[in-house]
Amino acid sequence: MRALSFRSKLLASHVAVVLAVVGIALLTLDRWLAADLGRQLDQRLEQQGKGALEWAEGGKRHPDRIASRIAHIVDAEVTLFGEDGTVLGASAIEARLDIGPEVEIAKRGEVGKAARWRSGREMHYVAVVGEDGTILRLAQPLSEINATVAETRRRLVFASSLALLVAIVLGFLASRVASRPLAEMTTTATRLAEGEFDTPIEEGAADEFGVLRRALSSLATQLSARIGDLVAERDRLHRLMTIRRDFVANVSHELRTPVTSIQGYAETLLRKDPKPEMRAQFVEVIHRQAQRMGALVEQLLALSELEVRGKDDLAKEDVELVAVARHVRETVAGHAEKRKVTVAIDVPSDLHLRADPEGLERALLNLVDNAVKYGKDGGNVRVSARSEGGEVTIEVVDDGEGIEAQHLPRLFERFYRVDAGRSRDRGGAGLGLAIVKHLVESMDGTIAVESTVGAGTTFRIVLFTR
């Protein structure tokens, strides 16, 4: 069975209240009107009876004639009784035989009143007593009062039905207006349950619906934020799992080649005694592969240390940037000279910033070393810096072959290499730029790269002076 809507319940309750009020009003008015008309009849008959007593007391010789005359004047049935309750005269034959409790009450000197059925009619009686003990009783059928009550009842029922109809129409309109905010909030809540947290919610009036609207709006904001956090955390965990999987695979791959080479050449040396020149060549290969493994392990340890170390562990101090740049140039001088690469420095001598000197030098060294290592023979590398608005921008620019656009977004990922074969031949493990990124971010800085194929590459570091 389908449940009633709030609007239907509101309309039903409205109609029920109106019906109850109208019903109680009709019942009360009906009884009150009948009682009031009865009281009025009592008062009228009592007054008429007392006024007619003077005639009744003087007409004992012709009581029937006097009773008929009084009945004609007061428009009621009249009966005259002696002080002992015997009938003296009456305006109607039926009245002589109709002696009720009202006569007994009048004999005691009080006004007697009674109502009873006689000959199929409901009659009302009022009896008054004169000074000489004569009792005058007036009787009148209640048909006139009942007709008045019935007519009034019909009119009240018609008016109440009309009022009920108007109340139903007004209740329908009122329930429609009153239930509209609830219907809107029901729709909103349904959309929120379906995950549409950007659903606009108007605050509305400062009533209970307004409070509920604001509560829904706040709930939507909180749910959106929490679900956003959960999605971001899920994506982060997924990314970490991917990085971990790739890390294990890449480390295994990177170590497999030198380990295989070392193992193969070592087994050759153990099985037979090669010629001295071959032995020297084998030992050289083993030495080179061991150095490669050592460099890889060193970079892995450095990267792990950076990930574990927090920003609060950094020993920041005032750094003279030009001195760091010169020291980096001296470090790569031998390699640059081999490839006839010119390393130029364009850093103001008065440029200082607060940073981790060791980390800054290491990051800059990796960038310059990469520029020399992967640039063209006889090329140029330029290290420049400028300070503006509390920020220091450091650029390492080369005029080498450049990097294709599809590689740039992944350039700072671990073990990612643009040309894996060439990088491996030149001793690269794909960890240098990942280390640079960690170092820069640990100093609250940012790093970006721009490159044009055939024109060169620019790495840009932004740090704060303070």
More confident residue, 154 or 288: 154
Which residue among 276, 308, 340 closes a domain?
Answer: 308
Q: Are residues 203 and 222 in the same domain?
A: yes
Q: Output the pLDDT for position 202.
A: 63
Q: How confident is the model at residue 421 (pLDDT cuts 50, 70, 90)?
A: very low
Going by C-beta distance under 8 Å and a sequence separation of 6 or more, which residues neighbour residue 438? 303, 306, 307
Q: Output the pLDDT for position 368.
A: 92
User: Is 173 inside any structural domain?
Assistant: no
Q: Are residues 251 and 324 in the same domain?
A: no
- Residue 360: name the closest of 458, 264, 441 by CA: 441
Q: Are residues 297 and 328 in the same domain?
A: no
Q: Output the pLDDT for position 384.
A: 94
User: Is 69 inside any structural domain?
Assistant: yes
Q: Output the pLDDT for position 312.
A: 53
Which residue among 285, 308, 331 closes a domain?
Answer: 308
Q: Output the pLDDT for position 423.
A: 46
Please provide the average confidence, as pLDDT, over all residues in the chain: 79
- Give tens-digit pLDDT for 207-263: 666 667 677 667 767 777 787 788 888 888 887 677 667 666 666 666 676 777 777
Mean pLDDT, rounded, for 85-104: 84
How many Å is the Cα radius of gyration of the chain? 58
Q: How confident is the model at residue 422 (pLDDT cuts 50, 70, 90)?
A: very low
- Give tens-digit pLDDT for 344-353: 999 998 999 8
Q: Residue 293's domain spans which residues?
A: 195-308
Q: What is the CATH number of the domain that holds 388?
A: 3.30.565.10
Q: What is the CATH number of the domain that holds 259?
A: 1.10.287.130
Q: Are residues 350 and 425 in the same domain?
A: yes
Q: Are residues 339 and 291 in the same domain?
A: no
Q: Are residues 232 and 101 in the same domain?
A: no
Q: How many domains does the chain have?
A: 3
Q: Are residues 202 and 99 in the same domain?
A: no
Q: Output the pLDDT for position 355.
A: 86
Which residue among 277, 308, 339 closes a domain?
Answer: 308
Q: Output the pLDDT for position 168.
A: 79
Share of the chain above pLDDT 70, in %: 77
Q: Are residues 280 and 391 in the same domain?
A: no
Q: What is the CATH number of the domain that holds 96?
A: 3.30.450.20
Q: Are residues 275 and 324 in the same domain?
A: no
Q: Are residues 33 and 147 in the same domain?
A: yes
Going by C-beta distance under 8 Å and a sequence separation of 6 or more, which residues neighbour residue 401? 374, 375, 376, 453, 454
pLDDT at 381 > cutoff 90: yes
Q: Are residues 72 and 151 in the same domain?
A: yes
